[in-house]
Structure 1
Amino acid sequence: MLDDVLKKRILDAVRQKPRSIDELATLIRKNWRTADRYVQRIAETEGSISVRTFREGTRGALKIVFWVSAESIHSSEFQERLFKHIEMGRKKSDFSPSEIYQYVDEKKKDAVILTEDYLDSKSNFEDYRERLLGTKSELFLFSGNLSLVNMGTKKEDVADVLEKIAKRGVNIRILTRVEIPGIENIRRILEINNKVGKKMVDIRHCFHPLRGTIFDDSVAILKEIRKPEIYVKGELKEKMTTFYRIYDKEWIEWLKNVFWAMFRSSISAERRIEDISGMQTVKVHR
């Protein structure tokens, strides 16, 4: 069983230098298959290590485990610059997804501008619902306060769909603010773990400027909302919502790494809720 002691031993070893599965198996005194399974689990749940297979398909195939450092997130100067801007942002107005979108290959992206009527429509929910149901293994969600989970119809909303895919084995990871406003949204999604019987949903408290969803490695959809009140009068006549859809595997992987970088350093929603629940209201006695 992978406990905290074994996990720390593996992470400490890989942090020092890349290790083969054989080395790690010897270190933790387990067989190769068990060590490989532990490594895969850590990579999937924490994102702090990654695995590469050399000479794949041959008898001499070699699996090497690497530490995912801050530097390894970026493959170019502009990605490093983008990450710094995202890292410094706290509100959605602090960063525009168009800054990412502009660098993606024209053939591997598209964007749509939604009217206010369509944004709140059944059609918009059904499109998002189908994408969620099509997710096979992992879902990453950049959110503000998880108000998205209430989008839907009288029969079904996003929270219901998340429960369905969690029961099917999809790992759901969410970065969002965990505060008194919107805390019921957080509790409702965390309740999925109790219904499923194991932890399929992991929510961390984080102020960040991104809004969007990454579905496996197939597509990342980032949302941007522009409101007239933050522009000079007359520059923008009405609220405008843009969905930037990215299909480029390299950019999707980069966005996942950005997610993991913030996720690893953020506190769990459960711990945050515990602290909030312990707050006392002070009243004036007359």
Structure 2
Amino acid sequence: MSTPSPAAQSFPAVVGVLGGGRMGAGIAHAFLVAGAAEVIVVDVSEMAAQAAAARITKDLEASLTRGKINGELSDWTDRLTATAEVGAFARCGLVVEAVPEDMELKVESLRRAEAQLAPEAWLATNTSSLSITDLAEQLQRPERFCGLHFFNPVPASKLVEVVLAERTGAELAALSPRWVEALGKTPVVVKDAPGFASSRLGVAIGLEAIRMVEEGVAAPADIDNAMVLGYRFPIGPLALTDIVGLDVRLGIAEYLESQLGERFAPPKLMREMVARGELGKKSGKGFYDYPEA
């Protein structure tokens, strides 16, 4: 039977995740594998919650197969609860929101979660670009709120961007990097700014790569190989855009354009691909084809 590791004592025993999609499931998996006593995932419906549970279970099975964790699958799944009832968060010491990248939806979701939490509990958002300070202003306890920007795919990624808002309290500023380290990942602490550090740089490179495809400079594979082999990127910017999702990156680019100017304007090709439903790996086609998607 798996037991919480000493490192896991850095974060609360019961952790909640709001949203059980690709990112939310990955975050839940990370806390389970790190030794959280229980992880509670809340989604919009019971059907969505059960789909999230299946997604997390699949990730756990993969971790067992690869020898990343040991024991029986039930050792891990017995500590997972998936539900549509947001009231389940009442027992959580930390909730991480992972709903789609839309300001109104984020605010509504964070307020719903915060209303269920004990006064001493912590709340975080997984937003990749939206202002943590603006989100915090919509909450009752902004000093207990920060950004925890996980990267896709969460189980394999070693980085979490810790984003501190203007009103993030000193205690949380000290705790949040320790939570990341307890997950076996490396924290990068940044102040709240449009796109933070990772999205701002990553999207800038990705948009320029798309413009190069649009202008016929080179084929997607050649552009990606230039960055992987020439600059030692672990994955090319176009392949990464497929993994993140063109629709997700389009939304981030539009937000960054509104905050930082024309250099983040989405290329015409990007808009056309999203309109055609060519969203990347999740749709089966993006800059590359994914026949098993």
Higher relative helix content:
2
TM range (shorter): under 0.3
Structure with higher RCO (Cα < 8 A, 6+ apart): 1
**TM-score, normalized by length of structure 2?**
0.25
> Which has a greater percent of strand?
1
Superposition TM-score, scaled by structure 1 size: 0.25
